[in-house]
Amino acid sequence: VIKKINSSCHTPYPMEKYFVSSFLTSIVIYFVLQGQVCGLCGNYDGNSVNDFTTRSQSVVENVLEFGNSWKVSATCPDASSVKDPCSANPYRKSWSEKQCSIINSNVFAACHSQVEPAKYYQACVTDACACDSGGDCDCFCTAVAAYAQACSEVGVCVAWRSPSICPLFCDYYNQQGECEWHYKPCGASCMKTCKNPSGKCLNDLPGLEGCYPNCPPDKPYFHEDQMKCVSLCDCYDDEDGKIYKRDECNVW
């Protein structure tokens, strides 16, 4: 059951949010919520035609009318026009087109027949043109990562990053002399953690790229709070969701 409070959608069911980068967040909701959510991300009913549903539940075609209806604060002024970033920043257009051409290149050739690249390429160019005050590479990299994620979701894994193109340095998370963290372009399988020592997941997690730990046999559990592999876990309390040190555990 969805409760609407102050014209916003609220749900008792869990939604999982995965922080991918400073510019990209992935939100995953369960099938039970299909057709029962609302907002800027659509209503998840399998019909893209009615995704532009306003806060007042009217289906519109104008992107400004749709976006303005979901303002959090009434004091925030309405957006009055959709600006073309490449026209506003023409000096960035050629760079953006060149960088984003990786989406149409052989790097993603295996995915082109599965996920149409045209709209992702255009979105990449637009985003890259818009980032004119710093973070230009982040905008470009995030746009390409969005296409790579779409490919991953249809079963096509593309390892597109390189030392010169949007590198991810997972070694940053490794302690001195250790090599537990590695980059995986299409995510990792369910692993043993201190909150999930069995290593079995009830729900399949999306294959999100990023840095993942490979825990060795002598340290098979990943400690979520300490962000490292351990041989023995502390105590995890299902009720409050916290991990307690072993000497603070209450055994019933």
Look at residues 173, 179, 168 and name the one whose alpha carbon lies nearest to residue 145.
168
Structural domain harbouring 91: 85-153
Same domain, 180 and 252: yes
Asked whether residue 79 is assigned to any structural domain, the reply reads: no
Q: Are strands 3-5 and 8-10 parallel, antiparallel or unpaired?
A: antiparallel
Mean pLDDT of 212-220: 89
Last residue of a domain, one of 109, 128, 153: 153
Asked whether residue 76 is assigned to any structural domain, the reply reads: no
Which pair of tokens denotes residue 248? 């603070």
Instruction: Report d(CA 129, CA 238) in Å as an integer.
Output: 47
Look at residues 195, 190, 193 and name the one whose alpha carbon lies nearest to residue 241.
195
Which pLDDT band, with edges at 50, 70 and 90, does 15 fall under? Answer: very low
Residue 99 pLDDT > 90, yes or no?
yes
Identify the pLDDT of residue 250.
53
Identify the pLDDT of residue 69.
93
The residue type at 76: C
Identify the pLDDT of residue 204.
62
Identify the pLDDT of residue 137.
81
Mean pLDDT of 1-29: 45
Asked whether residue 74 is assigned to any structural domain, the reply reads: no
What predicted TM-score, i.e. pTM, was given to this entire model?
Answer: 0.69
Identify the pLDDT of residue 243.
58
Q: What are 119-177's pLDDT values in tens digits?
A: 999 999 999 999 876 656 888 999 999 999 999 989 999 999 998 999 888 887 777 77
Same domain, 142 and 205: no
Mean pLDDT of 63-80: 91
Last residue of a domain, one of 105, 122, 153: 153
Asked whether residue 159 is assigned to any structural domain, the reply reads: no
Identify the pLDDT of residue 118.
97
Task: Answer yes or no: are the C-beta atoms of 165 and 194 closer than 8 Å.
Answer: no
Same domain, 113 and 189: no
Residue 236 pLDDT > 80, yes or no?
no
How many distinct structural domains can be found in the chain?
A: 3
Residue 18 pLDDT > 90, yes or no?
no
